[in-house]
Chains A and B, each alone.
Chain A
Amino acid sequence: MTPEPIRVPLPGALAADAHRAVRGALRAEPRDAPLVLDCGALGALDALGAARLLRLVDEVRQTGREARLANLSEAARRTLAEVDPAILAHEPAPPRHPLEIVGGRALDAVDAVASMQRLAGATFLGLARPFGHRGIKWDRTLRQMTLVGVEAVWIVFFISLLVGVVLALNGATQLRQFGATIFIANLVGISMTREMGPLLTAVIVAGRSGSAIAAEIGSMVISEEIDAMRTMALSPIRFLVVPKVLALIIMMPFLTVISNLAGIGGGYAVGVIGLDLGSDAYLSQTVQSLFISDVMTGLVKSVVFGLIIGLVGVYRGFSVRGGPEEVGRVTTAAVVTSIVLCIVANACFTALFYFTG
């Protein structure tokens, strides 16, 4: 036997807090009794009022109770008659267990690693074919080298110069106490060539070019340009990915050399102009402190950083699903992921070189 319905009179105007009117009734026993929302005081119902009324019905139904309307005016009936009944037929999403959420994230991470591996594999295969009809697109690669390398020279130079100045000024404060200000040349030279030069360049290029790569490919995905390339039997890996990654691999060492020189120049300016160290003495000290292995270590790192920035940007770009707002999200993610991975790789390199002498 159906239990007696619980009648809930609704106020004359359904305000934004109208749901409070039914909250108390939802706790009433028996639990399987339908709630009848008495609309007698409502009068006419505009679109916003109808939306609030249907939200109440939906809220009641989400609790498992039946919800009905009574005493609808003719005007309210006309407004509700225009509404598709299907809007109340949706199934509420089942609540997810926290473990399920964690497991889902873990599986997503495994999928992401597998996709990245496939992308990296396809890119290396593309890089392994330098010439011929299916080979590297050198014209596109040159264009990319201009974009990621030549156009980044001034920003890399300027920031590295300032970092060199800051390193020298901070070093001077400490070294002056021991009368060893000349060793600023060592500090700046070694710091720039081994660590700061490659890492600074990587951060700048990740922010400048990694984001641009992710945004460009992401936009191409949502406008079906990538699909169009595939239907034309044109490989997006060969046309888009390989030129961008190769350009980064080639240009990163050049940018790193510029960063090293600019940083050392900044230290030189502080040493010679600010600390009255002789120009020849500073340069000679710098040359004596640097080993070719320091410079080469930085350059090897920069190649790996270029590879990381390129692959992450491309991977993030291809992972776009949905609309333009997703392009913005993956662009940010590309920069963050690139920088984190470059710093992790840098730490690994430093540890490796330290323990292997």
Chain B
Amino acid sequence: MTAADREPVLVVEDVVAGYGDVKVLDGISLTVDAGEIVTVLGATGSGKSTLLRCIVGLLPPWEGRVLINGRDVNAAGTEEREEILREVGMAFQEAALLSSMTTAENVALPIVEHWHADEETALMLARMRLGRVGLGRAGDKMPAELSGGMRKRAGIARAIALEPRLLLLDEPSAGLDPTTARAIDELILGLKARGDMAIVAVTHEVASINTIADRALMLADGAIIACGTLAEVHASAEPRVQAFFRRELVESAETTSLVDELEWKA
């Protein structure tokens, strides 16, 4: 095993980031090794997707840094950045397939560009990737002809097209029927079993978390409120973590009703 194999695939160090003047992430740190699945949990708007955007360089952090295979994605020049990102696959929440191409052409695009395969070979490999997510017959369809779940799976097929060392999944099983969601979980576990891929999955699907996660990180208001192995996070005393796993509403002690606030008391 070389030194490069032993170092973490992803290191996020004290990242602070946001949009405009609004801080969304506040001091996030995370390390992910090869052969490991880390799930990022949290309520809607807690900063999960923003963390993925920071990792992949779409949103440069205000402070801190992101290292992928030991290289800082935000400090890299254009060509080095391309080299770094070739080792990263990202599946977007809404798939973000290029609408002017067929599904197979979407998956073949990075293969043609980065592996310099001829178009026919790339399309064949693309169909193989699509087959892995159960879309072997959908290669010739345009993205607009696919259902939401099929688009999501096609997005995952594109993300794994180049067999990346770091796979980022934004809500991979949200909105899917239980059978398809289970198939996606199995696919993710299969990718992990190869041993050389680090996977970060943003999700709030409790069933999926319990199936795939080695470690979990829970965000609330842009900060980490729980981090550790799945068992450690389950055992967290933090009320928001408990509420998340029990699918309960978090009642704030400060909550007052509008009538209490507005009613005149002489």
Contacts and interface: CB of A to CB of B under 8 A. Distances in A.
Contacts of B110: 232-234
Contacts of A77: 259
A111 B124 CA distance: 45
Nearest to B161: A232
Q: Range of interface residues on chain B?
A: 35 or more
Contacts of B81: 233
A299 interface: no
A68 B260 CA distance: 10
A72 B263 contact: yes
B85 A233 contact: yes
B258 A85 contact: yes
B263 A223 contact: no
Nearest to A216: B100
B85 A68 contact: no
A83 interface: yes
B97 A85 contact: no
B88 A80 contact: no
A29 B89 CA distance: 66
A231 B258 contact: no
A219 B255 CA distance: 41
Contacts of A228: 90, 92, 96-98, 158
Contacts of B84: 233
Interface of A: 5, 34, 36, 57, 67-70, 72, 77, 80-81, 83-85, 88, 133, 216, 219-220, 223-225, 227-235
Interface of B: 53, 56-58, 78, 81-86, 88-90, 92, 94, 96-100, 109-110, 113-114, 116, 158, 255-259, 261-264
26 contacts: A36-B264, A57-B262, A69-B263, A72-B259, A77-B259, A80-B259, A85-B261, A133-B116, A220-B98, A220-B99, A223-B94, A223-B99, A224-B94, A224-B96, A225-B96, A225-B97, A227-B53, A227-B96, A228-B90, A228-B158, A231-B89, A232-B113, A233-B82, A233-B83, A234-B110, A234-B113
